[in-house]
Structures are given as structure tokens and as C-alpha cells.
Amino acid sequence: MPIRLQDVLKHSSLTPADPVIRAAAAVAAQTQLRWIHSSEVLDIAPLLGGGELLLTGGQALVAATDKRRVGYIWELAERRVAALAIETGTGLPSIPSAMVAAAEAAGLPLIELRKVVPFVGVMEAINSLLVSETAGHLQQADGASHAMAVELAHGGSLDRILAVLADATGTEVVLTSNEGAPLASALPAEQAAEAEPALTANAEQDRARTISVDVSVRGIPSARLTLRALAGSDVNLARIAGNRSVDILALALLQRMPPGLKEMAGAALIRAVDSGTQNWRLQQLAPAAGIPLSARLVAIVVRSPGSRQLRTAVEQLLDRAGRHSASYADNAELLALAVLRPDTTREDRKDILAGLQALELPEGSVSAVGPVAAGIAAAPWSLTEARLTLELASGVGVNSKGTMQSGGVLDAEDFAVERLASHSLDDARRTDFVRQQLGAILVHDEQRHSALLETLRVWLDSGCNTAQAARELHLERQSMHQRLQRIFTLCGGDPRGTGRLAALHLATRLAAMQSTLPGRSLT
């Protein structure tokens, strides 16, 4: 019998915590658990597999901003975590309203534990029950996988193979291509004669009962398996059986739609570029992937919870913007190479940036486009610089005008100064240079809680365009002029038309770079 969230909240190990559901109560009534974890780390989502009840004492949430708290909720929801339970008390008197609203919107059951209980005891008690349940699920899943293999060996169609899985799990099963085109589907035998089951009134409940698994053929993501648990079916069984069936489905797809040489060579080329393989190997793989050895190309890095699903859309974008492309998705990172046309190199690269900005990416996604590489031998350099751009941004991006903004698509060329400084100057030298150029402004900001440094940076990034900088900072023009006069007084006069302008601009960019590094202080 499935172990549900509402049963766990009534368990003797957890009732002393006086739990109360603060968000997504309608979803909580049907939520089934796979495991219980406890963690105080806010970046825990990528380590979870879905179906967990996550316990936290809330210590990390006390110091976090509302934006980070909301991001924490959405990251857990994206990983299909079953529920989040937060212990409140002296440090965190109540769950912040922003988190409650986000959890309700995301359909993530949010539970307040109003009294302290030992999490270790709760996990030992509940997980022991879940282990027993999982053992039974594994036996059933192995039986289903064996039956699917027999069907495949006898030449069964994809529909017939999926029907075995549907009967074993009591789920509606659909196999689609990376482009979303249906390849096969099946319903349990007792449902097959009826009309297709309708979604429930609550879309979040349907989402919680839906399991999606990527199917890779020879390491290349080729299809997606989706199981939607119908009334009375076991979500955990569906999750385990779906994952156990991937190898059988990969074999079936390999017989019917094997990946081409070009696609396999492209994936191998990206892996070689990423691993720093010797140049002779790159020269061997590039022609097979359709990439000329002397081509001008750029590397793209996309970090996203849905990197595998984004692969097709990104490849289509790159093929439209240039001539050829190759990509490879691994965990939460998508790597790609795009060949640019010799006569329109800059235009093609701009089209790639614009196209990435237009893509609908999951919450928390960030990407970077590396500098143009002259030939396949320089591809590892472009990829390294794209990754360095993400590291330097540290959650802060640059738009086409050079203005800092959160997340999104980052252009490595907008970080040319920061990349050069990272390669050529150590932390101490960068800090010393910033203090020499901006020391008086830094002291003023520290003592008076002003924002002169940010004002100067935006003004310099805008090309010393006072009106544009005022708009970006949401200031009246008079207020902007007053700030600039104060800045000029502190830094020795108006820098326009002097050699100090470039030094000040460099210092403001380095100051922004230093401020994103943990433990760094400029004052």
C-alpha cells in the first residue's frame, strides 16, 4: 500500500513536531512519498530524484533573501520533490509569506513543523517503511522489464512493449521524440477500451502524478518516456518501473531509429572538446560531425534543470543561425558548438545570443556564449571562456548594452575585461587596483550607505550617457547630475577626455567582479 504524506504527518515519530500544511494542501492529500531526507543546504535540489519529503531546520533560510527563498521552492518543485517541511522557532518564527505563495503556485506541499523533533529519528522510522515498500516495487519493476524484453525479442511494436509497462504500473504511458512527436503510447488493459483518461481539475496534482524519463540511444538523448499514474495506481512503482525500462526502450529505438553517424560524431566531438582531448582527436572527429577544421565557431554552455529537453531546440536554433552544430547534454548542462559563416560571423553570433534569449528556459537556467574560435583546435578555449563567464557572473549577467542583470544569457565578450583580469591578475592585485582608483568612493558608500560606485559603473557602461544611465538607475536627471558631481569630487574631477576614464571603467568592472566572490571585501 502506498505511503502518503498525510499518513507520515500522523506518524508517531512526527506528530510531536505539531505539523501543519501551509501551502498546496489539495496536492498534499494525494502526495505519495519515496524517501525522507534532511538538509540545511539551499542548493540541494540537483541531488534529489523526486518524491522526497525534505526536512530542514531553516537555519539557511534565516540569512537568505526572499528571492533566494522563492528560488529554493521552485528548484524543489522542478525536481518533483514531494513536500518540504520547515522547522520554525526562535531563528525563524514563521515560514516567510513569499515562500508560502511560491509553494502554492508551484504545487509543492509546504509544511510547518512548529516544535522540534529529532530528524534522525523521523527518517529512521519512515524510511524503514519505505525500504520495505521499495523492495516490492523493485521486484514488480524487474518483472515488467523482463516481460518488455520478451515482447521486444518476439518483434513486438513499441505500442505493445509500452502496453506491458502500462499494465504493470497502472499508468498511461507515452513515448515521444525529442521534438515532442508521439512515437508510441499505451493504457492499462482495463482502461484501453474506454476514452482517454482526462486530466483532473488540479493541474498540479496531475503534475505530481507524472513521471518523465529520458531515453538515450548510445549516449544520445533520443526520446522521452512519460508515465501518468491513473486513479488507484502507485506513483513510486511507476517511477521505478519507468527507470528500469529505459534500456529495453533504448534497444527498441535502436532497431527502429538508430542515431546517424553525424549525430554520434557530434556528441563525441563535444565530449572531446570538454575533456581537453589532444588536437589530433578533434581533427579526426570534426569532419565526421560535419564541422570543417578551419571553421569559425563558438561554444555555448546552458546550465538548466531541463538541459536534455532543451537540446533539440538549441540545435535547431544553432542550425538556423549558422551552418552546422553539434551538442551534448549531461546532467544539468548542455554543451554545444556552432559553426559561423565566414562572411557573417558577427551577425550569426548575435543571432545565437538573441535566439537563446528568446527560448523558454526553466526557472534557474543560465547560459553563456563563448568568444569566436578560429578553427576546431581553438574550440576548447571558447568553451573554457564560456564557462569562465558563468563563474565570473556568479548569478549576475550582462545584456547587450553591458548593464548587469540577473541570470539569463551571458555574452563572454561582455566579460572580456573580467576574463582578462581573471587570467592575468590575482585577487590581491585586482583589489589593490580598485582601491587605488575608487578608494574615496568606496569609503563614501561604506560610511553613508550610498550607491555611488554602482552609479559610476552604470554611467561608464552607458558610454558616459547621463540620460541613459539615469533611466537604468530609475533616477531623476537632476539626482543623476548631483551624484556625478559628488563622484567627480571624490575621484579628482570629471574623467571625460582624460586618461583616467579607462582606468576608472576598468576599476568599476573589477569591483563588480570582486563583489561576487565569496569572502572578498573592497573596503
Residue 359 near residue 67 (C-beta atoms within 8 A): no
Contacts 24+ apart (CB under 8 A), 454-459: 455/480, 455/483, 455/484, 455/487, 456/487, 456/491, 456/504, 456/508, 457/404, 457/508, 457/509, 457/511, 457/512, 458/403, 459/484
Q: What is the pLDDT of residues 337-391, one digit of tens each?
A: 999 988 888 998 999 998 888 887 777 788 899 999 999 999 999 999 999 988 8
From the list 248, 233, 241, the residue with the least C-alpha distance to 171 is: 233
More confident residue, 118 or 181: 118
CB atoms within 10 A of CB 247: 14
Q: What is the pLDDT of residue 394?
A: 63
Question: C-alpha grid cell for residue 282?
Answer: 578533434
| DSSP label of 362 | -
Q: Who contacts 114 (Cβ-Cβ below 8 Å, separation ≥6)?
A: 17, 18, 19, 20, 88
State what percent of residues in the chain have pLDDT above 90. 36
Residue 144 near residue 244 (C-beta atoms within 8 A): yes
* Predicted confidence band of residue 258 (pLDDT cuts 50, 70, 90): low
Looking up cell 540541494 gives 44
CATH number for the domain running over 261-421 = 3.30.70
Q: What whole-number distance in Å separates Cα of residue 36 and Cα of residue 51?
A: 9
Q: What is the pLDDT of residues 131-169, one digit of tens each?
A: 887 888 888 899 999 999 999 988 888 999 999 999 999
* Predicted confidence band of residue 206 (pLDDT cuts 50, 70, 90): low
* pLDDT tops 70 at residue 322: no
Mean local confidence (pLDDT), 266-293 = 85
Q: What is the pLDDT of residue 331?
A: 65
Backbone angles phi, psi at 365, to 5 degrees: -80, 145
CATH number for the domain running over 136-256 = 3.30.450.40
Q: Do strands 396-398 and 366-369 pair parallel, antiparallel, or not at all (unpaired)?
A: unpaired
Sheet holding 35-38, edge to edge: 19-23, 110-113, 83-87, 52-56, 35-38
Looking at this protein, which amino acid is placed at residue 505?
A: H
Farthest-apart Cα atoms in the chain, separation? 84
Rg (CA), the chain: 27
| DSSP label of 36 | E
- N- to C-terminal Cα distance for the chain? 61
CATH number for the domain running over 5-117 = 3.40.1390.20
Q: What is the pLDDT of residues 420-454, one digit of tens each?
A: 888 888 888 888 888 898 999 999 988 998 989 99
* Predicted confidence band of residue 307 (pLDDT cuts 50, 70, 90): low
Q: Who contacts 249 (Cβ-Cβ below 8 Å, separation ≥6)?
A: 148, 158, 161, 175, 215, 223, 225
Q: What is the pLDDT of residue 55?
A: 95
Q: What whole-number distance in Å separates Cα of residue 482 and Cα of residue 488?
A: 10
From the list 407, 242, 386, 265, the residue with the least C-alpha distance to 324 is: 265
* pLDDT tops 70 at residue 290: yes
CB atoms within 10 A of CB 474: 7
| DSSP label of 371 | P
From the list 49, 22, 17, 45, the residue with the least C-alpha distance to 34 is: 49
- CATH 3.40.50.300 given to domain 427-515: no
The per-residue DSSP string of 282-350 comes to HHHHHHHTT--TT-EEEEEEEE-TTHHHHHHHHHHHHHHHSS-EEEEEETTEEEEEEEEPGGGHHHHHH
Q: What whole-number distance in Å separates Cα of residue 461 and Cα of residue 180?
A: 42
Q: What whole-number distance in Å separates Cα of residue 50 and Cα of residue 420?
A: 41
Q: What is the pLDDT of residue 464?
A: 92
More confident residue, 151 or 405: 151
**Segments making up each domain of the chain, as ranges:** 5-117, 136-256, 261-421, 427-515
Looking at this protein, which amino acid is placed at residue 516?
A: T
Least-confidence region, from 15-19, 75-79, 122-126, 511-515: 511-515
Q: What is the pLDDT of residues 462-503, one digit of tens each?
A: 889 999 999 989 988 889 999 999 999 998 899 988 888 888
Least-confidence region, from 24-28, 62-66, 461-465: 24-28
* Predicted confidence band of residue 40 (pLDDT cuts 50, 70, 90): very high
Q: Who contacts 202 (Cβ-Cβ below 8 Å, separation ≥6)?
A: 26, 27, 107
* Predicted confidence band of residue 319 (pLDDT cuts 50, 70, 90): confident
